[in-house]
Structure 1
Amino acid sequence: MAVPLREQKHDVPLPQTSGGWTTILADPPWRFTNRTGKVAPEHRRLDRYATMDLAAICALPVAAVAAKNAHLYLWVPNALLPEGLEVMRSWGFRYVSNIVWAKRRKDGGPDGRGVGFYFRNVTELLLFGVRGSLRTLAPARSQVNMIETRKREHSRKPDEQYQLIEACSPGPYLELFARHPPPGWSAWGAESAPEIAPRGRQHKGYGGGPIQMPLLEPHARLAGSDAHAVAYALRDKYENGHSIRELSEESSYSITRVRGLLRMAETPLRSRGGSR
Structure 2
Amino acid sequence: MVARPLRPETAPPQLPRIVGGFSTVLADPPWRFANRTGKVAPEHRRLDRYSTMPLEAIKALPVSKTLAVNAHLYLWVPNALLPDGLEVMSAWGFRYVSNIVWAKRRIDGGPDGRGVGFYFRNVTELLLFGVRGSMRTLAPGRSQVNMIETRKREHSRKPDEQYDLIESCSPGAYLELFARHKRAGWTVWGDESSDDVVPRGLVHKGYEGGPILPPLLPNEHIDLGRAEVLGERLRTMYLAGQSVRQLAEETGYSIQRVRALLQAAGTSMRPRGRAPVPELDLFHVLE
Asked if residue 11 in structure 1 is aligned to residue 12 in structure 2, the reply is yes
TM-score, L = length of structure 2? 0.69
Q: Quote the offset at 1:214 in angstroms.
A: 1.4
Aligned mates of 1:122, 1:100 — CA distance in 2 = 10
Q: Which runs of 5+ in 1 are unaligned?
A: 1-6, 220-276
Asked if residue 172 in structure 1 is aligned to residue 173 in structure 2, the reply is yes
Asked if residue 47 in structure 1 is aligned to residue 48 in structure 2, the reply is yes
Q: How does 1:1-276 map to 2 (within 5 A)?
A: 8-34=9-35, 40=38, 42=41, 43-201=44-202, 206-216=207-217
CA offsets, 1:109-139, max 9 Å, x none?
1001100000010000000000000010001
Q: Quote the offset at 1:218 in angstroms.
A: 11
CA offsets, 1:179-211, max 9 Å, x none?
023111100001011111011146666110121
Q: Quote the offset at 1:45 in angstroms.
A: 3.6
The higher-RCO structure (CA 8 Å, 6+ apart) is 1
Taking only the aligned residue pairs, the percentage that are identical comes to 73
The count of corresponding residues between Structure 1 and Structure 2 is 211
Amino acid at match of 1:191: E
Distance 1:160 1:176, change over 3 A: same
Q: Quote the offset at 1:141 in angstroms.
A: 1.1
Partner in structure 2 of residue 242 of structure 1: none
TM-score, L = length of structure 1? 0.72
Amino acid at match of 1:167: S
Distance 1:39 1:87, change over 3 A: farther
Distance 1:45 1:201, change over 3 A: farther
Amino acid at match of 2:138: L
The structure with more radius of gyration: 2
Distance 1:214 1:78, change over 3 A: same
Aligned mates of 1:52, 1:103 — CA distance in 2 = 25
Aligned mates of 2:118, 2:181 — CA distance in 1 = 29
Aligned mates of 2:48, 2:190 — CA distance in 1 = 17
Local SS of the residue matching 1:71: strand
Aligned mates of 1:176, 1:10 — CA distance in 2 = 15
Amino acid at match of 1:29: P
